[in-house]
A and B are shown apart, each in its own frame.
Chain A
Amino acid sequence: MEGLIHQVMSGIANGSIYASVALALVMIYKATHHINFAQGEMATFATYISLMLINAGVSYWAAFLFTLVIAFAGGMVIERILMRPMMNAPVLSSVGVFIGLLLIINACSGWFFGYTIKSFPSPFPSQPMLGGYVSGHELGSTAVTLVVLLLVYLFFRYTRLGLAMRAAAFNPASARLVGVRVGAMLGLGWGLAAAIGSMAGMMVAPVVFLDPNMMFGILLYAFAGALLGGIDNPLGAVLGGFAVGIIENLGGAYLVGTELKLTLALVIIVVVLVVKPTGLLGRAVQSRV
């Protein structure tokens, strides 16, 4: 029983990371109808930047915030330079660009920062918490991601800018007619997604250690989570991310062993696509004429 609770708790901690990356994927998907395969590599690169800052003597939380800002700017730059010209391109061209971006950023991470595995500091205490069921880092990183997800939710739900971004994603033509600058909204969306991804990267790096391929597996889990919850539903993606974290941990402990954990993510992807392609919460828009 204790083992089970322990596995569920670490599943939630992992799930918070997957949920963040899944949310980043869904934000880009809703705005552009493409999956940003480079989301994980962008996060890895940002995590390297934060490590560089920390090694240069910047305090952890200052480096954390600074990295969010850099990632935000980087996301906007990528949207402006690479995605804007691809706006009306065929799907395969866009997929090609995303895969190219993945390879380029991955190679840049290795080239600038080296391929050796590096440890990454955690700002949280290392002793076990909550009666020994979770580590300080697991609890802290879950709390940080939950706070960020809540802020993102409040931003989209209650601010004028958040509403304009949603409008631009749902119906760009109508958004322009009410005066929304759709191009700027897409840029902001990319920036926000990149910042959320970098937050996930910094939270997961102390656990999985930092190397250029750090986010590869995480992106797969996040993708499984996003699909499970509904690729066009942000709330679904977040819940799906948590669900995949728990499934992965329980499955790894009791079912398939740690060797086949990543396979579980692929199984989830295949099962969802076959059985319910819209995901658990994804649904067709209700409309009548």
Chain B
Amino acid sequence: MPALLEARGLHAAYGETKVLHGIDFAVQEGSVSALLGANGAGKTTTLRAICGMVKTQGEILFSGQRIDGRATEDVARRGVAHVPDGRGTFLELTVEENMRLGAYTRKDRAVAADFDRMFGYFPRLRERFHQQAGTLSGGEQQMLAIARALLLRPKLLLLDEPSFGLAPLIVQEIFAIMRRIRADENVSILLVEQNASLALDFAEYAYLLETGRIVVSGPAAEIQQDEAIRRSYLGY
């Protein structure tokens, strides 16, 4: 079966500064892949490349069709939802408006039902529904960002460091909810994380990035068992 997302020889650069040097990776339908690596390895850039937010070379295939070189909004409209670095919350707007924007491209009538399902995962969003999103705590903003992304009804969810800047308890809570979402929603996930043990627990397949190249890839369980990889790359 062809992968939902596949990158072949993907290069990316900010102006003259090359960040990705020809990487290959894939996300299988219905599965979770993780991109691991240190700061500056190119994890966030990889997600940006998929969404057409940086200049790229090489092929990116989504559902078998080329999406490289496409405008960001067109990639989103094809069913790729991106929870970006820094969460991308519309701070000036209310929680409700943020959620409505998540469903912006949809014409179907199931949006109200989907709002309720999001409140099932994240009850706190219901409590904060009419509040300005900028007043939410970091954890609540992360929940809002995930809900906003899911409301697009994506086939693929790109998650950029959902644990960033959050207390360990909140991170646990969010990953517990993410497991429920994995089970209940028909969505594949590409997860970027610095917290490698957390990501390897959650993902089926993992890629390890080092300065713009993939140095290790394999099933998450195997990488987790491999002490040499853990010590030399993941530092735990």
Q: Is the C-beta of B181 less than 8 angstroms from some C-beta in chain A?
A: no
Q: Which of B20-28, B100-108, B196-204, B215-223 makes up part of the contact surface?
A: B100-108
Chain B interface residue number, banded? 20 to 34
Rounded to whole angstroms, the CA-CA distance of A49 and B73 in the bound complex is: 37
> A179 to B93, Cβ gap below 8 A?
no
Q: Is the C-beta of A268 less than 8 angstroms from some C-beta in chain B?
A: no
> A178 to B152, Cβ gap below 8 A?
yes
Q: Is the C-beta of A203 less than 8 angstroms from some C-beta in chain B?
A: no
CB distance from B55 to the nearest CB of A (A): 14
> A182 to B73, Cβ gap below 8 A?
yes
Given known A167-B90, A289-B165, contact A179–B73 (CB-CB < 8 A): yes
Chain B residues positioned under 8 Å from A288 (CB to CB): 134-135, 137-138
Interface centre among B72, B77, B88, B152 (most CB of A within 10 A): B72
Chain B residues positioned under 8 Å from A179 (CB to CB): 73, 76-77, 104-105, 152
Q: Is the C-beta of B116 less than 8 angstroms from some C-beta in chain A?
A: no
Instruction: Determine which of B76, B100, B132 lies in contact with A176 in the assembled complex, contact meaning CB atoms within 8 Å.
Output: B76
Given known A163-B97, A289-B138, contact A174–B76 (CB-CB < 8 A): no
> A177 to B104, Cβ gap below 8 A?
no
Chain B residues positioned under 8 Å from A177 (CB to CB): 51, 72, 76, 81-82, 84, 88
Q: Is the C-beta of B211 less than 8 angstroms from some C-beta in chain A?
A: no
> A175 to B101, Cβ gap below 8 A?
yes
Rounded to whole angstroms, the CA-CA distance of A289 and B93 in the bound complex is: 16
> A178 to B104, Cβ gap below 8 A?
yes
Instruction: Determine which of B71, B89, B152 lies in contact with A174 in the assembled complex, contact meaning CB atoms within 8 Å.
Output: B89
Interface, chain B (partner A; CB < 8 A): 51, 53, 71-73, 76-77, 81-82, 84, 88-93, 97, 100-102, 104-105, 132, 134-135, 137-138, 148, 152, 165
Given contacts A167-B101, A288-B138, 14 further A-B contacts (CB under 8 A): A160-B100, A163-B93, A166-B97, A167-B104, A170-B92, A170-B93, A171-B91, A173-B88, A176-B76, A177-B76, A179-B73, A181-B73, A287-B135, A289-B165
